[in-house]
Structure 1
Amino acid sequence: MASNYAGLLAEKLEQAGNGKQARMIRERLARAPVALANAQDASNGISFGNLPVDGESHLHTVDVSHPVEDETNLLLPSAIASRIGEFIVNVQRYDELSRVNAAMPSRLLAYGPPGTGKTKLARYIAAKLRLPLLTVRCDTLVSSLLGQTSRNLRRVFEFAQQRPCVLFLDEFDALASARGNDRDVGELQRVVIALLQNIDAITESTVVIAATNHDRLLDPAVWRRFYFRVPMQIPDTALRRQLWVQFLLPYTTEGVDLDHLAGISAGITGANIEQVCLDTKRATVLAGTVEISELELLRRLGLNLAITSGILLSTVEAEIYWLREWSPKHFSFRALAKLYGLSTRYVGKVIKEGSEHGAQERPRISPGTAQPTD
């Protein structure tokens, strides 16, 4: 009954020339009454208790999570943090802004290298808005059957409008790659068209976040659908310092030269810093100590840099070679002997003469690789 009366009110307002108010009422109706109807009649396969599934594999095409604000602390550069703040306020005060034609569609596109926090950003925004997060699973959404991917997309977008939520399209380039290239096929073009149509059809107040590592692959028409665009880049020195402190918690950073640490970790992502900190904290617990060892932290950082640079370090000797070449100032013979439980004589022999495995894998520091600064 409430839905019917609201619909009549929208018609009266429109007839009286108040089209903006009529549109706002219809947007509200698109979110609430449709959800009630679908909850009572799940004949189309979409309801509160029934996640959308792929018609071919019968697997869910979305995952639902409920991020909590206390668990989603996110460090960002000041300009990016300000832009995210604008987006959150736009969502929270959408109706108020809409009354003066100042509201922008609640759609955000995050792009940048892997490990820069795009998925964490989606969780952070959902937590701030106190909304469930619907993460689209592209591995099941994209089907081999002709037309099935487009149907999956429609079901996902319809499901997202059943109740307030944040719809997160991760690996967005899998759905929104540019049309017209030589390798393109008709089905891929239809998927992009279906994606654009679904984005256009969804209410402007529905929160949609897309993330991609390959922004250059996106179709030009996709960019126009997202009024908030956020580049997620490699952290600068100041942000890296903050990340080291945050990820080392609950341990203190006493005895660790954070400025030096932030300097020698240039070029790595927040995900790399987090992994190094996790490895170091694990080693601290297993060693039975109560404080972080700066030398162990530097060792973990050096090994992480080797992995991300594609350098194979499968032996202790290879690691010793790499660490000594990477930072001779910190990794003296004595320090390496202590870290690996070896004699200084053996460490010196390995570095001077090499061993069968260590010599074969002796790394070369490539241009652009982070190097320590004195």
Structure 2
Amino acid sequence: MDDESRLATVDVAVPGGQSADLILPPYTARQVQEFLASVNAFDRLQARGVGVSNRLLIHGPPGTGKTTIARRVAEELQLPLVTTRSDTLVSSLLGQTSKNIREVFDYASQAPCVLFLDEFDALAKDRADTHEIGELQRVVIALLQNMDALSASTVLVAATNHPQLLDPAVWRRFPHKIQTELPGLAERQQLWLTRIGDLQLSVKDASRLAAGSEGLSPAAIESAAFDVARDAILSGSDTIDLVRAFRRLARFVRYEEFDLFNDEANEIRFLRGWAPDVFTMRALASTFETSTRRVGMILAGANGDRAESDPLDALHPAGASA
């Protein structure tokens, strides 16, 4: 507990009966399994005179599965997961952060566990950084000393979104390192198929959603999938509709451009340009409860040309409401 805030500096989670749901690229998944194999073989390796340190550093963009990997490690090893809280671990009082670090390591040494140092760069910044004050440099020294004093058999996992900020001495203390990356097409498709609960989603539509999710992290895809599933349930459907799903997904793909979704005309123009094979003229008319004629006029206003036509329009009277 931090003396200043009187708040806990760690959260403790006891492993359940099932491993955390983890979808990773094959290469990354193999690295996780190699680390687990090394931990499980600790006694055997030590008996053969092979120095082993059960320490893993995970680095990569936000939302790419670093915390989920730490949970998986704890689940597979059937050990409690002790996660540090950076918001309370780092104190404004002189010397308090170093004291908190020492107490956390002492706590983790009392019984077998996985000690997870999340937001690791908050503690392990490069001491050569001239912008850091002396107190923060002393924190790094305290961290390194406590890591060195920690039993080699204790499982230590650290994660950071900013590996370039870490002190070089920190890197040397982690024999196992995993870089997480944005998911590939196969991983994105699997995320869509597994994150919509018991709703029906065809493999073909999941593949299309995976293609539209390029550049999103697993966490963002999960949030989008939950949003799509919620929309389907509230609309009374047990099946994911591709057009409705893509409209929800668009808000995650272009989340920083909220103005796109505050105006109907802007949204129609964006959706048509983003995924024209999904948002046909008739699909847009149905989605926005208007006519293909009006959709065409909106699109024409966007590019200065005459209204676009869609092959399906020939089957319906011009201006008919979808």
Please, what TM-score do these two structures have when normalized by structure 1? 0.76
1:260-281 residue CA offsets vs partner (Å, 9 max, x unmatched): 3333322221112111110110
1:290 aligns with 2:238: yes
1:129 aligns with 2:77: yes
Task: Please tell me whether the aligned partners of residues 164 and 206 of structure 1 are also in contact (alpha carbons under 8 angstroms).
Answer: yes
2:205 counterpart residue number: 257
1:344 counterpart residue number: 292
Alignment RMSD (CA, Å)? 1.9
> How many Å separate the matches in 2 of 1:150 and 1:255?
52
- The residue type paired with residue 73 of structure 2 is I
> How many Å separate the matches in 2 of 1:265 and 1:333?
22
- The residue type paired with residue 267 of structure 1 is G
1:65 aligns with 2:20: no
1:36 counterpart residue number: none
- The residue type paired with residue 205 of structure 1 is S
Offset of 1:190 from its aligned partner? Answer: 0.1
> How many Å separate the matches in 1 of 2:83 and 2:248?
32
Determine which of 302, 307, 320 is the counterpart of 2:268. 320
Offset of 1:163 from its aligned partner? Answer: 1.0
1:254-309 residue CA offsets vs partner (Å, 9 max, x unmatched): 27433333333222211121111101100110010111111122222222111157
2:282 counterpart residue number: 334
> How many Å separate the matches in 1 of 2:198 and 2:206?
16
1:21 counterpart residue number: none
Q: Percent identity?
A: 47
1:300 aligns with 2:248: yes
Offset of 1:141 from its aligned partner? Answer: 0.6
Task: Please tell me whether the aligned partners of residues 67 and 124 of structure 1 are also in contact (alpha carbons under 8 angstroms).
Answer: no
1:195 counterpart residue number: 143
> How many Å separate the matches in 1 of 2:143 and 2:127?
13
1:268 counterpart residue number: 216
2:261 aligns to what SS in structure 1? coil
1:74 counterpart residue number: 22
- The residue type paired with residue 186 of structure 2 is A
> How many Å separate the matches in 2 of 1:103 and 1:261?
46
Task: Please tell me whether the aligned partners of residues 69 and 124 of structure 1 are also in contact (alpha carbons under 8 angstroms).
Answer: no
1:282 aligns to what SS in structure 2? helix
1:205 counterpart residue number: 153
1:168 counterpart residue number: 116
Matches within 5 A, 1:114-153: 114-153=62-101
Instruction: Give the direction of change, closer, same or farther, for the CA distance of 1:276–1:310 in structure 2 (3 Å limit).
Output: same
1:329 aligns to what SS in structure 2? coil
- The residue type paired with residue 125 of structure 2 is S
Unmatched tracts of structure 2, length 5 or more: 303-322
Instruction: Give the direction of change, closer, same or farther, for the CA distance of 1:302–1:239 in structure 2 (3 Å limit).
Output: same
Q: How many corresponding residue pairs?
A: 302
Instruction: Give the direction of change, closer, same or farther, for the CA distance of 1:169–1:77 in structure 2 (3 Å limit).
Output: same
Task: Please tell me whether the aligned partners of residues 303 and 319 of structure 1 are also in contact (alpha carbons under 8 angstroms).
Answer: no
Task: Please tell me whether the aligned partners of residues 150 and 195 of structure 1 are also in contact (alpha carbons under 8 angstroms).
Answer: yes
Task: Please tell me whether the aligned partners of residues 260 and 270 of structure 2 are also in contact (alpha carbons under 8 angstroms).
Answer: no
- The residue type paired with residue 300 of structure 1 is R
> How many Å separate the matches in 2 of 1:67 and 1:274?
22
Determine which of 83, 86, 102 is the counterpart of 1:154. 102
Instruction: Give the direction of change, closer, same or farther, for the CA distance of 1:234–1:310 in structure 2 (3 Å limit).
Output: farther
